[in-house]
């Protein structure tokens, strides 16, 4: 029997760990397992590895190594950044600006702060999922201390006008944080050019291991720690450093940076081929902006079809895709991002996210485009919404 097809098109959820990354990590489990805080040789090996990884991570966003702290992931970085600024600056003011399409790591952190008496303005996006810089500027108050807007959206892949928002924030003396978990390694990110004060990264989105993230903190920006302990990572993230994971993250950044342009071109080719192919299916729509989107993201909706059924049918055929974000499949609510675009609930329920990595091929896209129309029509035959439209 031929081996069952296994095509992974869910790279915004997580990615395969690159073989070179695993190879780089292995010695830090087996022989170089010291604690980076220890004085002996084992400890110093770990410490050196930690600082080398810090250089690689800093480099991919144009930062200095001393501006990077390692964390346990994107969500933790977002929490450290947002709460850290909110608490540190609370004597100046308690107003935060964010968008209504942020990842839950940002949205829920903001909501938690609201319960503590902070005020949050959620800037709306347009129908294509882009934040309007003027809306951000108009939302600024005398007591605004933080603007946090994602670099690119995890569901629909739209790229936000980060440099412009950063410029406004800088001019007004407001701290600017961006969750760049989806952007890093796919499009150029430069904290200097884009006027970014705080930036969240995660290893597992760029072929590194899960459970490792980083936060860029521009020199001079002060945070109140929310995790207390032995004072690791400049006292902002106490806990023995996850050296194998951090080494893997460093390696993943090094590889991603070296191949940035080539991989972006490759993924964009797959994306555009997919968008063009899906356009041939009746009553199908692309969500998000046609061009201001990550090179690896294609996001569709199909009238009369519910997303979960589509994803499970695709899985049957060996294609791993998603209805939106992996997180929202635990809930029954449609995606807040799609509703923010002004889509109706039944439209938001019918979405499909395809996200590529450098490892995907054109043959995989062709095979996908070969099975998708059949699945769509099979589900529509079953759908009263399609029947009565």
Partner 1 sequence: MYSQIVMEHFKNPRNVGVIENADGVGTVGNPVCGDLMTVYIKVENDIIVDIKFQTFGCAAAIATSSMITELAKGKHVDEALKITRQNVADNLGGLPPVKMHCSNLAADALHMAIKDYYKRKKGIEIEVDVDKHEHEHETEE
Residues with a catalytic annotation lie at 327
Alpha helix segments (H runs only) across the chain: 19-25, 27-30, 41-60, 74-88, 104-115, 133-139, 162-172, 243-258, 260-278, 307-316, 336-340, 345-348, 362-381, 384-388
String of contacts with partner 1 for each residue 272-311, x by CB under 8 A: --------------------------------xxx-xx--
Selected binder of partner 1 within 345, 361, 362, 366 (CB under 8 A):
345
Which residue lies nearer to partner 1 by CB, 185 or 304?
A: 304
| Contact flag: residue 349 with partner 1 (CB under 8 A) | yes
Please say whether the beta carbons of 212 and 72 come within 8 A.
yes
Which residue lies nearer to partner 1 by CB, 124 or 172?
A: 124
String of contacts with partner 1 for each residue 64-103, x by CB under 8 A: ----------------------------------------
Q: How many residues form the binding site for partner 1 (CB under 8 A)?
A: 24
Strand order in the sheet with 284-286: 284-286, 297-302, 351-355
Selected binder of partner 1 within 258, 265, 279, 312 (CB under 8 A):
312
| Contact flag: residue 385 with partner 1 (CB under 8 A) | yes
Region near partner 1 per CB under 8 A, out of 72-80, 253-261, 277-285, 379-387: 379-387
We find the least distance from the C-beta atom of residue 121 to partner 1, in angstroms, to be 18
We find the least distance from the C-beta atom of residue 304 to partner 1, in angstroms, to be 6
Range 101-120, binding partner 1 (CB under 8 A): 111
Distance in angstroms (rounded) separating the CA atoms of residues 24 and 249 = 10
We find the least distance from the C-beta atom of residue 310 to partner 1, in angstroms, to be 10
Range 320-339, binding partner 1 (CB under 8 A): 330-334
We find the least distance from the C-beta atom of residue 213 to partner 1, in angstroms, to be 26
Structure tokens at 141: 């108050």
Region of 117 on the Ramachandran plot (φ > 0 left; ψ -120 to 50 alpha; else beta):
left
| Contact flag: residue 137 with partner 1 (CB under 8 A) | no
Residue whose C-alpha is closest to residue 73's, from 176, 227, 167, 212: 212
What separation in angstroms does the CA of 2 have from each of 5, 9, 279, 360? 9, 21, 31, 20
- Paired strand residues for 177: 148, 198
Rounded to a whole number of angstroms, the CA Rg of the chain reads 21
The CB-side HSE value for 342 (13 A sphere, CA atoms) comes to 8
We find the least distance from the C-beta atom of residue 111 to partner 1, in angstroms, to be 8
We find the least distance from the C-beta atom of residue 188 to partner 1, in angstroms, to be 37
Binding site for partner 1 (CB under 8 A): 111, 304-306, 308-309, 312, 316, 330-334, 344-346, 349, 381-387
């Amino acid at each position: 029997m031929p081996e069952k097809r296994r095509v992974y098109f869910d790279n915004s959820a997580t990615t395969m760990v690159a073989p070179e990354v695993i190879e780089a990590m292995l010695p830090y489990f087996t022989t170089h397992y010291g604690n980076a805080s220890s004085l002996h040789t084992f400890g110093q090996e770990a410490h050196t590895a930690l600082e080398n990884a810090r250089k690689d991570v800093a480099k991919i966003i144009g930062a200095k190594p001393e501006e990077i702290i390692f964390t346990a992931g994107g969500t933790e970085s977002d929490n450290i950044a947002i709460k850290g600024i909110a608490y540190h600056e609370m004597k100046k003011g308690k107003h935060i600006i964010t968008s209504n399409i942020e990842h839950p790591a940002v949205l829920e952190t903001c909501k938690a702060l609201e319960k503590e008496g902070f005020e949050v303005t959620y800037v709306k996006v347009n129908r294509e999922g882009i934040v309007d810089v003027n809306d951000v500027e108009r939302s600024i108050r005398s007591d605004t201390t933080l603007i946090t807007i994602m670099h690119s959206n995890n569901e629909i892949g739209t790229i936000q006008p980060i440099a412009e928002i950063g410029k406004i924030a800088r001019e007004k003396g407001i701290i600017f944080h961006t969750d760049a978990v989806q952007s890093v390694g796919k499009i150029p990110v430069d904290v200097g050019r884009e006027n970014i004060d705080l930036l969240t990264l995660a290893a597992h989105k760029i072929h590194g291991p899960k459970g490792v993230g980083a936060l860029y903190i521009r020199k001079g920006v002060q945070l109140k720690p929310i995790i207390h302990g032995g004072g690791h990572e400049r006292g902002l993230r106490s806990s023995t450093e996850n050296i194998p994971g951090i080494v893997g993250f460093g390696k993943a950044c090094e590889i991603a940076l070296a191949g940035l342009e080539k991989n972006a071109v490759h993924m964009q080719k797959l994306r555009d081929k997919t968008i063009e192919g899906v356009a041939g299916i009746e009553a199908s729509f692309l969500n998000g902006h046609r061009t201001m989107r990550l090179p690896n993201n294609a996001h569709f909706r199909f009238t009369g079809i519910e997303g979960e059924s589509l994803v499970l049918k695709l899985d049957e055929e060996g294609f791993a895709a998603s209805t939106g974000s992996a997180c929202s499949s635990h809930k029954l609510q449609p995606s807040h991002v799609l509703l923010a675009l002004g889509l109706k609930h039944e439209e938001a329920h019918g979405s499909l996210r395809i996200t590529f990595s450098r490892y995907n091929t054109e043959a995989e896209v062709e095979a996908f485009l070969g099975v998708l129309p059949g699945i769509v029509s099979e589900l529509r035959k079953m759908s009263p919404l399609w029947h009565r439209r």
